[in-house]
Chains A and B, each alone.
Chain A
Amino acid sequence: MKFITSLILTALLSYSACLFLPWWSIAIAAFLVALLISQKIGWAFLSGFLAVFILWFALSQYISSKNEDILAHKVSQIILQTDNPFMLILVTSFIGAVVAGLAAAAGASLKLKKLRN
């Protein structure tokens, strides 16, 4: 339950934060959620990772489908050196996911310490 709540909360908070703040505010979102909802480090990482993976996957997939992948074809060639819009969406999602996962793990570390005391 905690896992699902963290995941949803991280996704929502990341989305809202990025409306006003730079992209890396997803790290702050994941960190705060991990502080709020205590989980083991591994689970915290996974919830942060999955939350932003799903969020960024959904967002980029949605944008690209409405664009009929015009831009994704070009950008995938520029960044990945291969014409593969889906791969670009995966890379996008993965980048956000790793940052959020790590930040969530950092947050969970602090939380664990508090519990012990």
Chain B
Amino acid sequence: MRIISFLLFSILTIGFIIILNTKWVLPAPLGKLLAPQSGLWQNAEDVNENFSEDLSFPQLKGNASVYIDERLVPHIFVEQENDAYFIQGYLHAKFRLWQMDLQTRAAAGEVSEVIGEKGLAHDREFRRLGMVYGAENALKEMEANPATRASCDAYTAGVNEYINSLTESSLPFEYKLMGFKPRAWSNLRSALFLKYMSYDLASSETDFEMEHARSYFDSTDMNLLYPVLQDSADPIIPKGTIFPEPSIHVKAPANVDSVYLKGDVQVIENEKPNPANGSNNWAVSGKKTKSGYPILCNDPHLGLNLPSLWYEIQISTPEFNAYGVSFPGAPGVIIGYNDSCAFGFTNGGRDVRDYYEIKFKDDRRQEYWFNNEWKKTTFRIEEIKIAGKPNFYDTVAYTIFGPVMYDKSFAGKKDGSKKNYAVRWKAHDASNELLIFNKLNRAKNYEDYKEACMKLEVPGQNVAFACKNGDIAIRTQGAWPAKWTGQGDFIMPGQDSSYMWQGIIPQAEVPYQYNPERGFISSANQRPVQDDYPYYLGRNYPSSRGIIINRLLRSMEQITPQDMMQMQNNNYNVFAETVMPVLLKNIDATTLTGKDQEYLKILRNWDLRNDADSKGATVFYIFWNKFKTAVFGDEFAKVPDGVLQPQESTLEEAILRDSSYKFIDNINTVQKETLSDVTTQAFLAAGKELSTIEIAKELPWALYKATEIDHLTKVIPALNRLNIPIGGGEHIINATKKNHGPSWRMVVSLTPQTEAYGVYPGGQSGNPGSKFYDNFIDQWAAGKYYSLWMMTKEEVKDARIKWTMHFSSKKA
């Protein structure tokens, strides 16, 4: 009896422990997660947490101090420059380890190892795109340069020291929740992180979609739907600039019309970076400012997540002082300023990723036809680990163009492709992007800035610059392939060298402006130049933000940093300004009744601002979408999903120019619709939707748009911040959309005593259990800034310093 009792209770105890320690029965190991001494409770950070610490590491060359201010921004002071990167690595890991680990896994196609088979399609796509291949090539270059090698080595050592200090209970929150462990850092992982930024900013292409469109539309329609040039654009480098004779004379292949433009291509649906990834930057010269010194502004528009992509930091070494935001995953300051100058980026957005159709000799993929002979492929075997499953091995054939990304075994979201497509991506080539930041952090003048920029290959950026000596400049820098008109807009034949890139535009031939007469430089992802530039620039550039930025900057005088902050938060919709007159003119008001009349009144009285409480902005947004559908919906209903939708500016220009734009007619009806017919129709359709929105009390723009900042996993709603009261949107300087927008706003006035402001929608800590997890969001949403503090060693006793970390090289 006793034995039975003992056995019964023992089995029950062990059974409960197993249930509570695994996911076999419950969806989560509740005992493990909730045990107060080791589980999630340990991540509940004391709101009065003391971050002061004394640490010593043999890798350090000297002593160092980190002064942490009330916003948890570290001010790192070192005796030896590389110690700063060690400490930066340590701090990135301390506050953002899970994010760095996960993002690098995503970059490397190693997600399945954590989340199981549902990550496999992503992992295969990224491996096949050559993300690891490209990162390995970049790493060689990074490690060949003594400066970047040393900074990476120190950074990696710092991250790993922190990882090694972790215990079961101090493991970051998400590791416990998702049930995996951090992996050691390496220089390759920093390279992978930077490659991820290249993916985000320089992998955008629509080759398959355009190819697809071409099989449904004839060439006249293609030009109407996807025009090469936009009339309205106000380019980064103003019209009328004279460019030097090009050193590369590109020539289109002779058979371009018969072969290239008549392809029979299989449609592939692949993963895409967010097309809205873009940014604003501008700088005004002292002529236009109240202080007489330049002001530089930058706000990069990226996916908004928690933890944020950015981590604010000050690095002070004997060589330089730099302040700004850094990438958890890489050493140095990325966007910011030093004691002499400030620098900021917007995406260059040119197409540097092209596809070539490959003909293999047979299914073994060992040889492919190239320049009249069978050429050997090489194979790269990708080993993909999958949680709870055996490894998956993906053998990828490499050609002279690059990896054969799509073939019979893989075609993105679809089943295997009958044809083979190799991808040529500039990010495959060896380059050392860290060097630009290494040089910008210590740049003292225009020459230093220019030299730094010249190192930038991928992702190509419009790099804005302003200096205390009064200089301002912008360079549309990057390693851009020199292309003939139309090259790479569609899939290219890969059976010989005639369609390959014929060269890279020399860095000295990129369009730039240095102290222009107009007293400002700016960029907002619009076309870098108009049609007088000797190289082809591709099709897809948003133009509205550039127009309004330049209009405002032209008119402003006696500018203060406060004016610039207001401008970054400007909600004026210049796109609406352009199309509203045409639309309003074409709504037949006599056919509207009741509610629709009310909405028309709201629209007519709208001040063209997408402010948080604006009802007109919501009416316009819904109306414009219905209008797009009314114009293109009938034609596009007949083509499959993968076909590219025309850009908004295309429709904008079409209706401004020609009220009988071909696509206005509804092809499903007998009669021929006029612009007025479809506009009125669209307004009626909008009215229906608007009345549902009004019943839900979501007519004010911010309520309708419902901006949210999600935790990186996207699947844990409790960790997201929802319904953030903020205006803005597409085409607007304040480019805040639903979960995308200004990820860091910075204004730097280069007066003798620098005056700088910044804010990002997140917080310095990646820990959801910390009060520093999302504490900047309200400030950001309100359009307010923090004063950025380039601390000096003499200010150690300043009240803003709350904690101090001492690092020493001696063994404790």
Contact = CB atoms under 8 A, between A and B. Distances in A.
A18 interface: yes
A88 B177 CA distance: 15
Interface in B36-59: 36-48
B263 interface: no
B28 interface: yes
B13 interface: yes
B769 interface: yes
B3 interface: yes
A62 to B, nearest CB: 9
Contacts of A70: 44-45, 47, 769-771, 773
B36 A78 contact: no
A54 to B, nearest CB: 12
Given A68-B771, A70-B771, A105 B44 contact: no
B768 interface: yes
B806 to A, nearest CB: 25
B47 A68 contact: yes
Given A23-B39, A74-B718, A102-B12, A67 B46 contact: yes
B719 A99 contact: no
B17 interface: yes
Given A71-B41, A75-B40, A77-B718, A110 B2 contact: yes
B33 A79 contact: yes
Contacts, number: 131
Contacts of B36: 56, 59-60, 63, 92
B31 A110 contact: no
A11 interface: no
Contacts of A64: 41, 44
Interface in B400-419: none
A26 to B, nearest CB: 8
Interface in A27-51: 27, 31, 41
Contacts of B2: 109-110, 112-113, 116
Interface string B145-176: 00000000000000000000000100001000
Interface in A61-98: 63-64, 66-68, 70-75, 77-79, 88, 91-92, 95-96, 98
Contacts of A4: none
A8 interface: no
B711 to A, nearest CB: 10
B73 interface: no
B31 A106 contact: no
B9 interface: yes
A78 B35 contact: no
B567 interface: no
A29 B39 CA distance: 19
Interface residues of B, number: 45
B32 interface: yes
Contacts of B43: 71
Contacts of B20: 24, 95, 99
A79 B28 contact: yes
A71 B39 contact: no
B48 A66 contact: yes
B24 interface: no
A98 B16 CA distance: 8
B35 A23 contact: yes
Contact of A110 (B6, B32, B718, B768): B6
B769 A67 contact: yes
B234 to A, nearest CB: 45
Nearest to B168: A22
B13 A27 contact: yes
B9 A72 contact: no
A41 B5 contact: yes
Nearest to B33: A79
Residue picked from A18, A79, A112, most chain B C-beta under 10 Å: A79
B10 interface: yes
Contacts of B3: 109, 113
A1 interface: no
Contacts of B35: 18, 23, 56, 92, 96
A106 B44 contact: no
Contact of B34 (A41, A95, A116): A95
A106 B38 contact: no
Contacts of B40: 71, 75
B770 to A, nearest CB: 7
A83 B8 CA distance: 37
A109 B16 contact: no
A103 B46 CA distance: 33
Contacts of A91: 30, 34
Contacts of B48: 66
B41 A109 contact: no
Nearest to A34: B9
A95 B36 CA distance: 11
A68 B41 CA distance: 12
A49 to B, nearest CB: 12
Contacts of B168: 22
A116 to B, nearest CB: 7
Given A95-B31, A106-B13, A66 B6 contact: no
Nearest to B774: A70
A69 B13 CA distance: 31
B530 interface: no
Nearest to A64: B44
Nearest to B35: A23
Contacts of B242: none
A20 to B, nearest CB: 10
Contacts of A19: 37
Interface string B278-299: 0000000000000000000000
A59 B37 contact: yes
A64 B36 CA distance: 10
B9 A103 contact: yes
A61 B42 CA distance: 12
A110 B42 CA distance: 35
B390 interface: no
A63 B45 CA distance: 8
Contacts of A66: 44, 46-48
A84 B542 CA distance: 46
B15 to A, nearest CB: 9
Contacts of A110: 2, 6
A109 B9 contact: yes
Contacts of B5: 41, 105, 109, 112
Contacts of B34: 60, 79, 88, 91-92, 95-96
B695 interface: no
B41 A63 contact: yes
B765 to A, nearest CB: 11
A78 B43 CA distance: 15
Contact of B16 (A22, A92, A99): A99
Nearest to A56: B36
Nearest to A98: B16
B45 A67 contact: yes
Given A24-B17, A67-B47, A95-B31, A78 B41 contact: no
Given A74-B768, A79-B30, A95-B34, A24 B41 contact: no
Contacts of B16: 98-99, 102
A54 B152 CA distance: 49
A72 B20 CA distance: 19
Contacts of A27: 13, 17
A106 B47 CA distance: 41
B44 A103 contact: no
B318 interface: no
Given A27-B17, A64-B44, A106-B10, 17 more contacts: A18-B35, A22-B38, A24-B17, A56-B36, A63-B44, A66-B47, A70-B769, A71-B173, A74-B768, A74-B769, A79-B33, A91-B34, A92-B36, A98-B16, A102-B9, A106-B13, A109-B8
6 contacts: A41-B9, A66-B47, A71-B43, A71-B44, A75-B718, A106-B6
